[in-house]
Structure formats: structure tokens, C-alpha cells
Amino acid sequence: MGNSKLLATVAVLAAGAVAMPAFAGATLDAVKKRDYLVCGVNTSAPGFGSADSQGNWEGLDVNICRSVAAAVLGDAKKVKFVPLTSSQRFTALQSGEIDVLARNTTWTMTRDTTQGAMFVGTSYYDGQGFIVPKEFGIKTLKELDGASICIQSGTSTEKTLADFFRTNKLTYKAVVFDAAEAIQGAFLSGRCQAYTTDQSDLAGMLTHASNPEKYEILSEVISKEPLGPAVRQGDDQWFLIVRWALNTMIEAEEYGITKANADELRKTSTNPNVLRILGNGDDMGRGIGLDKEWSYRIVKQVGNYGESWEKYFGPNSALKLPRGLNKLWTQGGLMYAMPIR
């Protein structure tokens, strides 16, 4: 075969490879076969994932899982939620018990490289804080020298606490429990002088307190805690599906696409970025093995990131948290979607 014919053949094969749809990975096949997604969530974390008395799950992490179900199965309700403690979560992911871990989990190098997980992105920027009873009069962390501190086992909070106290030549007595409910109950019953975890969790705990006005969350933050969903290592296609489901929620907010206006914008918008998200532009599902309307279903059935934030963390929620770093990048925050194009 001559050089010109060889080059032409290579060009045709290359073009065909680009145009071919992605082959379904093991996780996508399994999810489609059983017809529901299995999502690992917190046992109870207000704002992120908690079940009501009827067993209905609500929260930001819950909605991330629902967005994946909407994209893959066409129905955001096709999710089985598996509540997991901190020490159970990575084992459940590695073993295949769950398809996605969305459990307000901090993305760290150790977890990304040694625990069989791949984090798909950051869904909430947080930081480790401390809460104390106001009656103690504690205002700074150095005043906790020698204090008993409640902490949950199996979390990055343990190491961060130890590192901070060692660096500042302070001592403490750790009071350790496995489940969040147990550790929060211990603090509220007076078994320790302080409790440390992500600031969002501290605010969530106060929603369970009978007298929240008796406690104060200290202003000092000792760590970065980028929280986000994770999948098992080894299935690149599934990783991409979950990554782009999260990005869809964020970018939909950037372009002002909501559950309420998705259908109208789908008909009237002339913005190519909006039309791609709403399944009325370039086919963005082909590269991840999904149909053209996968991202439209996310917005229509689940909503954008800001809608979840307002419902579960905003001024009308039980937590009433400032959005802070979780504002969009255009509003002074860090929340930034990779472009769907």
C-alpha cells in the first residue's frame, strides 16, 4: 500500500474512532440492568442527606445522586440510598455495594490515590470548625488546650485536629465515636467540652439541639474541606458520567436555567451553551454513552445547583448558612463548572 493510501486509511479510521459512541462500562451496564442507582449517603447530615419519617431522602448529595439517575435512567427517583458511617463508606464503594458515594466527603490526595476512589469534583467548599457551649466563655482555639473534644472516627477531621494541636503545642483528649448521631449526642449531653467537624455539620447539628442558643460555633477554621462525590477507580466512563452530571447542575445555574424555565428556554433560547444543556443543540451525550437529552433531564427533574443550595442551606432552610465560597465564580465564589461544549 502506498503512503498516500495508508495515510488516507489512517485518517478514515481515526475519524471513525472519534465519531463512534463510547462503549458502556461495567457500572453503567449494571445500573441499567437493575434499573436503579445505588447511592451511598450519610446516615444523617442536614443539608446533605437525611431521611424523613416516611423514608424520603433530601439534601444536596441526594440531589447529586438523583441527577445521575435522571441522566442514566431517565428518572431521578430511581435511586436506592444506602446510609453509611464514615468508616464504612470507602469499603462500600470499593466492594461494589454502591455505585456512587455522595456523603459530604472531603477530597484528599490519600483518598484519591490509596482508597480506590476517584472524586469527580467539588460540590461544597467547607472548612473544619469547632463548637462549644457558650457558658465556657471560649473564644479562641488556644483556649481549648487540655480540653476533651468530640470527634468522629474514620474522618479526615481526626488527622487535621491532631496536626493543628501538635503544630500549636496544645493538648486535648479525644472522645471518639463512629456514627455522627452518637458523637453529636455525646457533645449535646456534655460528655466533651468541644466538638469539631466541618462547619456545615456543626450548623446541621444545631437543628437537632433543643437549646441551640446555648452553643457557639467559633470563627476560626483550621482546614480546607472540599466535599464532593466519588466513584470507584477503573471505570472511566462512569467517572465521566457522574462528573458531568455535577457540572450540569452548576453550569445550569450559571446560565439561569431552572426546573421552572427549562422547557421555555429549550424552545426560545438562542444561546448555544443553553441549548446544549437542554438537549437541543450539539449531542453532548454521545461521548459518555448517553442520549442527547441526559442533561436536560437533570435540570428538569432535579434543578440547578443554586436551587439545591437555597432549599437545603439558604435563608429559608433550617441551616440558614451564608453561601460564601459556594457562590458562583461570577459572584465572588469558587463554584465553577467545566464548560459543556
pLDDT digits 0-9 by tens, 271-329: 999 999 999 999 999 999 999 999 999 999 999 999 999 999 999 999 999 999 999 99
Q: Both 241 and 219 in a single domain?
A: no
Average pLDDT of the residues in 182-196: 95
In the listed set 185, 200, 223, which residue is the last one of a domain according to the structure?
Answer: 223
Q: Both 119 and 94 in a single domain?
A: yes
Q: Structural domain of residue 140, as residue ranges? A: 128-223
| Residue 154's pLDDT band (cuts 50, 70, 90) | confident
CA dist 309 and 326 (Å) reads 9
Q: Both 148 and 184 in a single domain?
A: yes
Closest to 197 in 3D by CA, of 152, 132, 228, 164: 152
Q: Both 255 and 177 in a single domain?
A: no
Q: Both 121 and 132 in a single domain?
A: no
CATH number of domain containing 148: 3.40.190.10
pLDDT the model gives residue 19 = 35
pLDDT the model gives residue 73 = 98
CA dist 40 and 317 (Å) reads 23
Q: Both 235 and 113 in a single domain?
A: yes
Residue 341 lies in a domain: no
Give the tens place of pLDDT for each residue, 9-58: 434 344 443 333 333 479 999 999 999 999 999 999 999 999 998 999 99
Q: Both 265 and 298 in a single domain?
A: yes
Residue 6 lies in a domain: no
Average pLDDT of the residues in 159-180: 95
Domains identified in the chain, total number:
2
| pLDDT over 90 at 236, yes or no | yes
In the listed set 223, 253, 280, which residue is the last one of a domain according to the structure?
Answer: 223
C-alpha grid cell, residue 11 = 485518517
Residues with Cβ < 8 Å from 328, sequence gap 6 or more? 250, 253, 254, 306, 335, 336
Residue 1 lies in a domain: no
| pLDDT over 70 at 251, yes or no | yes
pLDDT the model gives residue 180 = 83
Q: Both 266 and 132 in a single domain?
A: no
What are the angstrom distances between the C-alpha of 130 and each of 202, 215, 325?
A: 8, 10, 19
Q: Both 53 and 139 in a single domain?
A: no
Give the tens place of pLDDT for each residue, 83-130: 999 999 999 999 999 999 999 999 999 999 999 999 999 999 999 999
Q: Both 110 and 241 in a single domain?
A: yes
